[in-house]
Amino acid sequence: MKQDLATSTAEPLGLLRTADRTGLPLLAIRIILGATFIYMGTNKLADPIAFMKAVRQYEMLPDVPGIYLNLTAVVLPWMEVFAGTALLLGMHVRGAALAIIIMLAVFTPAVYLRALEIQREAPQSFFDIQFDCGCGTGVEVIWKKLISNTGLFLLALGALVSKSRRFCLSMFFERRGAPTRFCHFCGFAVQRERAGLCLSCATPPVLE
Amino acid sequence: MTILKQAFVELVLLTLASIGVALAANGIRERKSIDLTKNYFELGKGGSNKAGVAPAANSQGSAVGSAVPQKTSPAGQVRAASPDMPETPNQPLANAATASAAPKKHLEHDFQSIILAEVREVFEDPQTKQGLNIFVDARDEEHFAEGHIPGAIQCFPYEIERCLDRVKAAAGGAEKVVVYCGGGECEDSIFMCRELTEAGVPFEAVYLFEGGWKEWSASGLPTEGAE
């Protein structure tokens, strides 16, 4: 990873890369995703049985044997809480982002298909469909939920590919005992420095 | 590739941590813990195990063993058959269909279904006051506290160990055990019927009120609790 970070500094900086270097986009993503998933996870933890029944409505897992459904209802809320906490703290950011991507990639199409099923059984405008999707936020208007999930998915993708570790707790641990020196501003490995900052941060603009 | 590899390793770590904490937390929580090996949604005695049955098929299936014919709406909602009964207004039912917008996906079962008119008869039967007919509310404690049929015993089928002895004691000599839950798409009453029959309550004594609390409370009949 360090090698990856080091080589990245040599790459030409595009607009996104420049923005990523500030660490602010990732920080915003971490706060939004982290808070959202901690909130949704704790809501599910408050009533795991309701969550189990909600998961069952998608018919992705068999009723018998019940262990798959039961295990999903027990573990998934904690997975969300752990992923959210990891993002907020800035530890294992990529793993947390990947976990969120997988969860959203599974449940968003499931919610969509369930909405279509409801529409088929009780014909109505798609924009009127609302039900408790088991997302931890109660009864929701489904088209809004789908858009919000897509947004969260894109944010998680952003967190996955971001190379910045500024404002991340993991940076603190990586620096300790690591032979490579890291820029105090962007968090990237320092190849050449100027005034305590890596060359990428120091020029331009010149901060001397 | 490095990014994905790192992400995958971290994902495995997060997953293992989540599983560990989840199992530990589930094991020590006092309420609403999940028994991992239990088949919560399996019907033993008194029902097939086919899930996701179309509402109409469900209501026909549920009529097996019922002595009294019942009317069923296209949405699968059991309605009052007696003309002198205050039939549940259409509006709340229609709202229920669109508000939650999730049509019923009841399991197919063979428990005796009972409609609102009959439930009222049982409720007003003098034998009920003597404990010969009992009502079992299969919703959780929070919903029960918000309002229930007067005299009903609360027993949530997912926490059956908390209340089964109490219900069995009450149902021991009862002629009719009327089980209900929230109504609409709620299936908890079906699973409560299963728990009761598995616990030794005679199948013939168990009656399933599918209209549930939604239908009862909308009909203006007496209620107990916060409402």
The whole-angstrom distance between A92's CA and the closest CA on chain B is 6
pLDDT bucket at B76, cuts 50 / 70 / 90: very low
Per-residue pLDDT, B2: 78
- Chain B environment of A122 (Cβ under 8 Å): 75, 97-98, 101, 103
Q: For residues B50 and A116, what is the distance between their CA atoms, to the nearest angstrom?
A: 22
Reply yes or no on whether the pLDDT at B104 is more than 70: no
* DSSP E strand stretches across chain A: 130-132, 139-141, 193-194, 197-198
Per-residue pLDDT, A136: 86
Per-residue pLDDT, A177: 55
Closest CA to A36 of A167, A136, A110, A108: A136
Tell me what the mean pLDDT of segment A46-67 comes to: 92
Amino acid at B224: E
pLDDT digits (tens, 9 = 90+) for A144-197: 999 999 999 999 999 998 888 888 887 777 666 555 666 666 666 666 666 666
The contacts of residue A135 (CB under 8 Å, 6+ apart) are: A40, A107, A111, A145
Tell me what the mean pLDDT of segment A105-119 comes to: 94
**Is the CB of residue B62 less than 8 Å from the CB of residue B47?**
no
| Residue in B36, B51, B98 nearest the CB of A67 | B36
DSSP string, B57-93: HHHHHHTTT-SS--EE-TT--EE---TTS-PPPHHHH
- Chain B environment of A67 (Cβ under 8 Å): 36-37
Q: Please return the burial class of B101, using the count of CB atoms within 10 Å of its CB with bins 0-12, 13-18 and 19+.
A: buried
Q: For residues A42 and A60, what is the distance between their CA atoms, to the nearest angstrom?
A: 23
* pLDDT cut 90: percent of chain B above it: 43
Distances in Å between the alpha carbon of A144 and those of A113, A119, A130, A141?
15, 16, 10, 6
Tell me what the mean pLDDT of segment B47-70 comes to: 37
Per-residue pLDDT, B54: 33
Average model confidence (pLDDT) across chain A: 84
Asked whether the ipTM of the predicted complex exceeds the cut of 0.85, the reply is no
Tell me what the mean pLDDT of segment B88-100 comes to: 36
Average model confidence (pLDDT) across chain B: 76
Residue bearing tokens 């009294």: B68
The whole-angstrom distance between A65's CA and the closest CA on chain B is 6
